[in-house]
Structure 1
Amino acid sequence: MPRRARLELPGIPMHITQRGVNRCAIFIDDEDRHHFRRLLRDAAQAHHVAVHAFVLMDNHVHLLLTGARAGDVSLVMRRVGQSYVQAFNARHGRSGTLWQGRFKSCLVDSDRYLLTVIRYIELNPVRAAMVESPDAYRWSSVHTHLGRARDPLITLHASYRALADTREGRASAYRVWLQEGVDPDDLASIRQHLAQERALGYPRFQRMVAEALNRPVTCRPRGRPTTGREET
């Protein structure tokens, strides 16, 4: 049976995660992370895809991307994924697949939900007990959103820009937002929509996506969990 096409619409942000096969490490050292960033930047620029947030964990990545055309985000992920595996295998003397199947993705409503997803992404290292605060982790977009860096990889989303009129004001407002943490219900909802590859947002947003793509976009009722290990 052919795989079902992704939910992908022009101008609608996509939350993406991709994991190492059998939860293996996809980054051995900082050079691997630098190379992944370079590949992502080049591919995003080539396909006119905006990168709004990211975190590079040891065995998976989270990204928030927006494409100008349907299909552009998938092109970016395919280009990055293939190039990175080739370079990783050559550098570390291995062969075979690195990724655990194709990447997971869900569309994100820019109303409220987008900032919640950015916060979810940037708090990953804290939930994984790698650091005590998100700004202590180097490989994340949090430094841009807190106004401590100007990362050329990042395109600030309009929802973030709407936090305040100035760079300092936005950073201050986002810092408060980040410190509030992710509500448990939001945490569960983000994970569920990502796992089922659905549209995360208000009902009116979900209706719009369903009508545009002529397919169901809401989550199925929860059944038995597929794994006992908690996702970050």
Structure 2
Amino acid sequence: MPRHARIVAAGLPMHVILRGIDRTAIFFAEGDYRVFSEILAALAESESVRVHAYVLMTNHVHLLMTPATDRGPARLMKGLGQRYVQHINRTYRRTGTLFEGRFRSAVIETDGYLLACQRYIELNPVRARMVRTPEDYPWSSYRCNALGVADPVIAPHPLYLDLADADEARRSRYRGLFADAIPQDMLTALRDATNGGFVLGSQRFQKQIATMVGRRTWPGTSGRPRKESANGEQLGLPI
């Protein structure tokens, strides 16, 4: 069965996951994380992709980004894979690939979903029980978004900037968002959308994107229906 073309919409945020092949490690020393971050920052600038959040885990990477063009994400991820694998192979005297053949992604509706996705990304090390708090993990965007630590990778999304007018007030309000757990139905919808290459958002938004790309942009209806969100919508499942 031929695989579907990736759903990309210039100007709309995307959640992206890049995994190591067979879920094996992709980072082996602190220097590897730094090299990956440097390559990511350079490519984000050259491909006109704004990265709002990221986390570099042992065997996978999460990114939240907004491309200026439809080709931006694929070009960024291709360059990232090629240049980083070259570094790893040269450093550790190995050959062959490092990543799964295709990165996974989902277009994200801004209102109601973007900051939840950003929190989901930055909380990954906590969920994996690697650290107690997101600020304890050095290889994510949390210290930039929540504490103001400079990070050349990050370009804040307007929704994040709208949290407050002043920098410290904005960061304080952002930190406050982490006091509440992300609802389980949101976590499930985010994972399903990204792993399936669909769209995360309201029913109206998903149908709008479906019209743009000419195919279904939400998971199929087999199995049990999804739980409803707080506003009564079935996350990831238009009717």
Task: Tell me, yes or no, whether TM beats 0.5.
Answer: yes
What residue is the counterpart of 2:193 in the other structure?
Answer: 193
Q: CA deviation at 1:61?
A: 0.3
1:131 aligns with 2:98: no
1:101 aligns with 2:101: yes
Which amino acid is the alignment partner of residue 78 of structure 2? R
After TM superposition, which residue ranges in structure 1, 4 or more long, deviate above 4 angstroms?
A: none
What residue is the counterpart of 1:28 in the other structure?
Answer: 28
Q: How many residues align?
A: 224
Change (3 A) 1:97 1:222: farther
What residue is the counterpart of 2:16 in the other structure?
Answer: 16
Partner Cα distance (1:25, 1:167) in 2: 36
Mean Cα displacement is larger for which, 176-185 or 28-37? 176-185
Q: RMSD in angstroms over aligned alpha carbons? A: 1.4
Measured against aligned partners, the alpha-carbon deviations of 1:107-150 in whole angstroms (never above 9, x if no partner) come to 00001100000000000000000000000000010011113312
What residue is the counterpart of 1:160 in the other structure?
Answer: 160
What residue is the counterpart of 2:142 in the other structure?
Answer: 142
What residue is the counterpart of 1:181 in the other structure?
Answer: 181
Partner Cα distance (1:19, 1:179) in 2: 29
Partner Cα distance (1:204, 1:130) in 2: 38
Partner Cα distance (1:145, 1:44) in 2: 18
1:64 aligns with 2:35: no
What residue is the counterpart of 1:79 in the other structure?
Answer: 79
Which amino acid is the alignment partner of residue 52 of structure 1? H
SS in 2 for 1:146: helix
Mean Cα displacement is larger for which, 145-154 or 114-123? 145-154
Identity of aligned residues (%): 42
Given that 1:119 and 1:181 are in contact with CA atoms closer than 8 Å, whether structure 2 keeps it comes out as no
Q: Which TM-score applies when normalising by structure 2?
A: 0.90
Q: Which TM-score applies when normalising by structure 1?
A: 0.93
Measured against aligned partners, the alpha-carbon deviations of 1:52-75 in whole angstroms (never above 9, x if no partner) come to 100000000000111111111110
What residue is the counterpart of 1:46 in the other structure?
Answer: 46
Which amino acid is the alignment partner of residue 182 of structure 1? I
Could you tell me which runs of 5 or more consecutive residues in structure 2 were left unpaired when the two chains were aligned: 225-239
